[in-house]
Structure 1
């Protein structure tokens, strides 16, 4: 982002805090009171939103759309290839989960591409295709930041574009549902385990859906009942499952969640996203997209976009591979080039099991463990941007130098705004202690 834009906002903010410190001291705690929290802690810790220029937004939209279209093109091939599913690390139980047709297309109704934007480029490092989080939190943060006097003065010079993510999510749930079902006002169930750290977000989405006239509950998948061809939570008949439970955790408790599974398998309920999104949620999808030995019939433009915006990625195995068109001994290459490499598990979330070669003192040991594990990836390091974000400490303004993870939301191939995550460390996710701020697309008046 243009540092002059941030500087302009910071100058406004500093003057505003001098004249109305009480308002700004109460602002961040008020967000937590409005359920912008994760696992009992505040999620928003800073007083500046992320500003994205229209030029950068268009670049990211274009690349995201092309990559999203590539994933759609791959779908049938991946569903029908045992060999490619092996590369992805699809387990036997996951293969069973891939079988039912969800009854709508595309299989990824809501996705989020996790990326880093710098002055020179931007790279996508993961695809969150299963259960993208953050939409309700972002809506509430956006609504509140728009009321801040500092931002109201900022808009005297800049136009802002922002989005209602909950409205778009509800629209897409209904669109998917109506590809097969006809009930005019379907009942919605937000499904995840009791006590998860994102429960506040479920409540925010529930409140929104009900305000639009759609009965909505939050329920644990173990508490459902399937009878007479219908899925029930007590006396609440479920028509749409907004699936927030992670598939591999669901399958780990497969015996306990059979009512939900059978209703989905029998096509009696609309489940968004479908279990087929596991194909793209596996981080090994980057192997298929960046290794030229795999051919999916992409156009020259698509290949160029993939090459420019995805980091080189390979499965961690003994043997030969390629890097920049040259053959390499993969494990030797990993040991000798640790300063530009990241080890990450193929199927986990929240930054767990990720090792950064330029920071980790036990790199060789982690490589040995990755080989034994059999489901690890090596990925080329991408440039990670940092920006100064203001906060208040004991009534005084303080600037934190934060990693900025700028993640476009994609609804059925349509890029709609961003989730912005901030972290003091190189892992910018809320599970690892990071936070979030709203994002605005800006243009000068």
Structure 2
């Protein structure tokens, strides 16, 4: 999975790849101030032929919660069963995250360190991951950086500085799902970002390069990647691990309907499994709606199942694996356990789970 991540990020550095993805991204994505994206998330199913990439996320949630969960689990297990790599990741997580934010800052700024970081999301206290925001805040504050959690409405832009409650914000850890800052409530953040008044990570350029779902049509096209200059080793990893993906078009409606049982449909601008459909469960009415929207169709890869006990009853649950990375390097792996056609946090006995190398 780590090699697949590095292959994807190598592809994203190709000039012709960048030209193509920017052609379908909003105008703001062309602005590249330097940061490469804090806490990227790469989601995999563990297929019989090896790991299969399902999605790439620029605002992947859960890392700060998962490191605590893994440490708690580690105390219950025989330490000899866990690899040195697992122990090193858990022991170094805070330092690695601090280094990540420092590097993101220094990719855009000549000043050594930011004075204040804001973790920004809409109505953060109501967010499912609010506890994670608090954990991230504590980690950065322990490293000597003043860190606050803010709603975009608390931001102001005064004399070329992004402000909140009278204090200057140097850097934004962006947890918004408005990836291009198009909503009116995000106008001041957008202006400050485009004028270089604040360092934002992850930012719209990173999302366009790596997480726009249309990009999967390129990453699953080995012939094009070869022609664009991607080395054969990287092409091989992507060829084996990225399900064939195509942009849904009404011109292909008959073929898509005929092959729907082998496909999974996702909205291009969706997040959090909203609006996704397994082709085998599609009704004709929903299919017609999909044809009218911006969707991709991805070859369906079934999730791995694991046996587990829920209330003393042995049952099965689906799992996927998420790698949290920075600059192509692994920070932490985690799993999500669920039922249904897409990951969720409503399944009894489901949710996040630690991953150990043994």
SS, match of residue 407 in structure 1: strand
Q: C-alpha separation between the residues in 1 aligned to 2:303 and 2:243?
A: 13
User: What do the CA deviations read for 1:315-358 (whole angstroms, capped 9, x no partner)?
Assistant: 11134xxxxxxxxxx33332222221111111111111111123
In the alignment, structure 1 residue 63 sits paired with structure 2 residue 4: yes
Which protein is bigger by CA-based radius of gyration?
A: 1
Structure 1 residue 248: deviation in Å? Answer: 4.1
| CA deviation map 1:115-163 (0-9, x unaligned) | 11134311001111x2111111111112222233xx1xx3345546142
Q: Is 1:275 aligned with 2:204? A: yes
Alignment pair present for 1:348 and 2:270? yes
Distance in 2 between residues matched to 1:370 and 1:69, nearest whole Å: 32
Is structure 2 residue 249 aligned with structure 1 residue 317? yes
Seen in structure 2, the aligned counterparts of structure 1 residues 401 and 345 have a Cα distance that, compared at 3 Å, is same
Partner in structure 1 of residue 59 of structure 2: 131
Provide TM-score, normalisation by structure 1. Answer: 0.72
Q: CA deviation at 1:113?
A: 1.0
1:225-257 Cα deviation digits (max 9, x unpaired): 12232211113321111111123484123xx33
The number of aligned residues is: 347
Where structure 2 has 5 or more consecutive residues not aligned to the other structure, the ranges are none
CA RMSD of aligned residues (A): 2.4
* 2:256 aligned to which of 314, 334, 354: 334
Following the alignment from structure 2 to structure 1, what is the Cα–Cα distance between the partners of residues 234 and 346? 33
> CA 1:85–1:166 in 2, change beyond 3 Å: closer, same or farther?
same
Conserved? CA contact 1:407–1:419, under 8 Å: yes
Please give the alpha-carbon distance, in whole angstroms, between the structure 2 residues aligned to 1:178 and 1:98.
20
Question: Structure 1 regions of 5+ residues with no counterpart?
Answer: 1-59, 320-329
Is the aligned partner of 1:372 residue 2:287?
Answer: no
- Specify the SS of the correspondent of 1:68: helix
* 1:21-74 CA-partner distances (Å, limit 9, x unpaired): xxxxxxxxxxxxxxxxxxxxxxxxxxxxxxxxxxxxxxx22222122211233x
Which of 399, 409, 432 is the equivalent residue of 2:314?
399
Give secondary structure in 2 for the equivalent of 1:189. strand
Asked if the contact 1:139/1:166 (under 8 Å) is kept, the reply is no
Number of the residue aligned with 2:143 = 212
CA contact (8 A) 1:126 1:283 kept: yes
Q: Is the 8 A contact 1:370 1:376 kept in 2?
A: yes
Equivalent-residue separation in structure 2 for 1:217 and 1:157 (angstroms) = 39
CA distance, structure 2, for counterparts of residue 172 and residue 62 of structure 1 = 20
| TM-score computed with the length of structure 2 as normaliser | 0.88
Contact kept in structure 2, 1:135 and 1:166, CA below 8 Å: no
